[in-house]
Amino acid sequence: MRWEGRRQSGNVEDRRGMPVKGLALGGGLGTLALVLFVALLGGDPRALLELMPPPATAPAGAPRTADPQEELLREFVSVVLADTEDVWHALFQEQLGQVYREPTLVLYTAQVQSACGFASAATGPFYCPADEKVYLDLSFCDELRTKFRAPGDFAVAYVLAHEIGHHVQKQTGYTDLVDSQRGRISQTAQNELSVRLELQADYLAGVWAHHAERAKQILEAGDLEEGLRAASAVGDDRLQRQAQGYVVPDSFTHGTSEQRSRWFRLGLETGDLTRAKLLFELPEERL
Ligand SMILES: [Zn+2]
């Protein structure tokens, strides 16, 4: 995928290396900034320092030794996120007459607290509708290549675009539609709705790629195949919040590999946002 030199999104929240229950402001730079701020206002920063809690055992926000490979990956996902912002802003305005709300991408290491509960990297990337954030441990990108045998940068772009697709669904009402049925219909019917939601997110990832390609010529030879491979390889990312507040992958299916790559491809070929509703109109056997 061609991505170097393009805008990086400002909506990336970097929580890598931070302890899960660490302080939001933490010690280090946060405290320093606050102390300087108080001093600038003519206050006595010593009074403030006495009020500050002792630093957490693992200092939150401590400078991390930057792994060049991982930094490149961070830049890459920031560019892809910016590309999704550009495409969805335009499509929301042109086709829906709505203003697109930009989601946040949270980068974390090993485990993370979301408004949907606690999650570990084993969960895989996920979107939390309650805080409108996508959660990604960058080590997943390695897993795509090794565990899921879906190598290539466009495989990563597809996964991110799929999660952003879930955000688009939140804004277009499909998430609520499916949630509102929970507990009112059979488990089988509920699972079928979940599959429709997942396939629609795949379709929306394709719609994004179509428009990003038209505007910026992002695709290189082999990218489509990388995306399709990832679409069919990546397992379940539908999440369920357990009573104890833990997020675990649930047992719902995303649809078959064939369905996933077919809907992704259809979105990519047509770029037609209005057709996304088909995923909730077609009978099950035509999905
Ligand atoms: Zn999904």
Could you read off the pLDDT of 82-132 as tens digits, one per residue?
A: 999 999 999 999 999 999 999 999 999 999 999 999 988 887 899 999 999
Whole-angstrom Cα distance, residue 267 to residue 259?
Answer: 12
Give CA 141 to chain center in angstroms: 13
CA 104 to ligand 1 centroid distance, Å: 16
The vertex-171 CA angle with 165 and 173, nearest 5°, equals 100
pLDDT value for 25: 43
> pLDDT higher for 173 or 255?
173
* Average pLDDT of span 53-69: 58
Give CA 214 to chain center in angstroms: 23
The vertex-121 CA angle with 73 and 102, nearest 5°, equals 60
> pLDDT higher for 187 or 178?
178
CA 195 to ligand 1 centroid distance, Å: 9
Q: For residue 28, give both structure tokens.
A: 């280090």
* Averaged confidence pLDDT in the chain: 82
CA 199 to ligand 1 centroid distance, Å: 8
104-108 and 133-137 strand pairing:
parallel
CA 98 to ligand 1 centroid distance, Å: 23
Report helix, strand or coil for 12.
strand
Whole-angstrom Cα distance, residue 233 to residue 228?
Answer: 8
Q: Band of the pLDDT at 149, cuts 50, 70, 90?
A: confident
pLDDT value for 147: 81
The vertex-7 CA angle with 197 and 199, nearest 5°, equals 10
* Average pLDDT of span 55-81: 76
- Cβ atoms within 10 Å, residue 243: 5
> pLDDT higher for 121 or 232?
121
Q: From start to end of 72-125, where are the E strands? A: 104-108, 111-114, 117-120
Considering the chain, what percentage of its residues have pLDDT values greater than 70? 77
pLDDT over 80 at 140, yes or no = yes
pLDDT value for 4: 95
pLDDT value for 31: 47
> pLDDT higher for 30 or 75?
75
Q: Band of the pLDDT at 57, cuts 50, 70, 90?
A: very low
Q: Band of the pLDDT at 63, cuts 50, 70, 90?
A: low
As residues whose CB is below 5 A from the ion ligand 1, the structure lists 198, 201, 237
pLDDT value for 19: 86
CA 202 to ligand 1 centroid distance, Å: 8
CA 159 to ligand 1 centroid distance, Å: 9
Phi (first) and psi of residue 190, to 5 degrees:
-65, -45
pTM exceeds 0.75: yes
173-208 burial string, b = 16+ CB within 10 Å, else e?
ebbeebeeeeeeeeeeebbbbbbbbbbbbbbbbbbb
Whole-angstrom Cα distance, residue 25 to residue 46?
Answer: 18
Considering the chain, what percentage of its residues have pLDDT values greater than 90? 57
CA 54 to ligand 1 centroid distance, Å: 40
pLDDT over 50 at 234, yes or no = yes
Q: For residue 217, give both structure tokens.
A: 């010529």
CA 238 to ligand 1 centroid distance, Å: 6
Whole-angstrom Cα distance, residue 117 to residue 239?
Answer: 10
Tens digits of residue pLDDT in 2-53: 999 999 999 999 999 988 864 344 444 444 454 445 455 545 444 444 444 4
Nearest to 151 by CA among 227, 256, 205, 262: 227
CA 183 to ligand 1 centroid distance, Å: 21
CA 258 to ligand 1 centroid distance, Å: 16
